[in-house]
Amino acid sequence: MALGVLALFSLMFAIVALAVSRTLGDTALGFGPFFASAVTAALLWFRHPDRPVSWKLIASLVSSFMGVNLFAFGVFALFSPGNDGFVPNALMSLSLCFTPAAVLLLLAAALYFWEYRLGSKAQQQARLIAFNTADAFQQRMEKLRRAREYLANIDALVDAHRAPASPLWLTALPDNLRQWLSHLEKLVNRLNDFDTDPLIQRDLRDAPEKISRLKAQLDAETSPEVRAQLAETLEELENQYGHLRELAEMMRRSELEIDENLARMGVIYSQLQMLDTRSLQKSRARRLSEEIEEQTHRLDDLLAAMDEVISSL
């Protein structure tokens, strides 16, 4: 907004200067602020919009604006020699205007490209994270597909050997299998939601830097009131970051839990294939049913722990 107002006034000033100017120096002096505003607007236009404004960007904008204006003033002084003559005035313009302007413009270019490179790096990292997230989604969907296939085959295998007087645990086995699969699907959905939640991912990425900055401010602050407020803010931020790290660790454990459950499904299926109808009525098959219930309870406990951590954020 401020840049737009400045550019508008600069354009008006340039038009007036062009109308009344008699020399190239007068024209350069009039168009200096306009060109400086245009350069600043171009730098803002080509920056990475997803990256927050940093001190490097602000310093580069200020340096470029001052450098262009100083260069324009040097042109004005060069072509308005007055009584001193062209050569002395040119040397003075070179030392007082052109040289500082070149330094400011080089500084602006260095800071801007430094900031632009950091933005490009952050953008590449974001694309890599998005690619890894999409790949993780596909892997989890494939694991769910295999889990559904295992459980459907286990259900069909048990149903084929079910006798009229089957025990109660065998009758309840299909419901236990569906509950196991339902918990596994919920776990996959939680993982996907965690990976795609922009607020959680942003806080996990930015919290360490914020904590370090607050600690530095707390060490440098001398006012007791401000120190107390900084300490309270720091404590809240550290607690939040601790919960986020706990949640991230829980998500990593969940990935392993999915793999473990998938492996157990394969083992249970292979063991059931070796049992006949009479064996399904005995304790060996019942232990497999109890193992299914145990895996379901483990997933249920993990989901409950996730809910507790998420509610504390």
Kindly report, residue by residue over 10-47, the tens digit of the pLDDT.
444 445 444 444 455 555 555 667 677 777 777 777 77
SS3 state at 156: helix
Name 173's Cβ contacts closer than 8 Å, sequence gap at least 6.
Answer: 155, 158, 289, 292
Residues 220, 106 share a domain: no
pLDDT at 128: 46
Domain contains 220: yes
- Tens-digit pLDDT profile for residues 42-74: 777 777 666 666 777 788 888 888 888 888 777
Element (DSSP H or E) covering residue 233: helix 224-273
Residues 230, 169 share a domain: yes
Q: What is the pTM of this model?
A: 0.55
Given 60, 89, 121, which residue is the final one in a domain? Answer: 121
Residues 284, 229 share a domain: yes
Residues 295, 229 share a domain: yes
Residues 283, 175 share a domain: yes
pLDDT at 193: 87
Residues 167, 287 share a domain: yes
pLDDT at 131: 43
pLDDT at 208: 87
Rounded CA separation 163/158 (Å): 10
Domain contains 224: yes
Domain contains 305: yes
Given 121, 150, 171, which residue is the final one in a domain? Answer: 121
Query: What is the percent of the chain where pLDDT is above 70?
Result: 71
CB 312 within 8 A of CB 302: no
Rounded CA separation 77/85 (Å): 11
CB 207 within 8 A of CB 244: yes
- CA nearest to 248, candidates 195, 302, 308: 195
pLDDT at 16: 47
Count of domains in the chain? Answer: 2
Rounded CA separation 7/35 (Å): 9
Handedness of CA 186, 191, 197, 203 (dihedral sign): positive
Domain contains 289: yes
pLDDT at 163: 58
Residues 114, 6 share a domain: yes
Q: Which domain holds residue 50?
A: 2-121
Query: Which residues of the chain have a pLDDT value below 70?
Result: 1-32, 34, 48-53, 80-87, 89, 119-132, 161-172, 275-286, 313
Rounded CA separation 50/34 (Å): 27
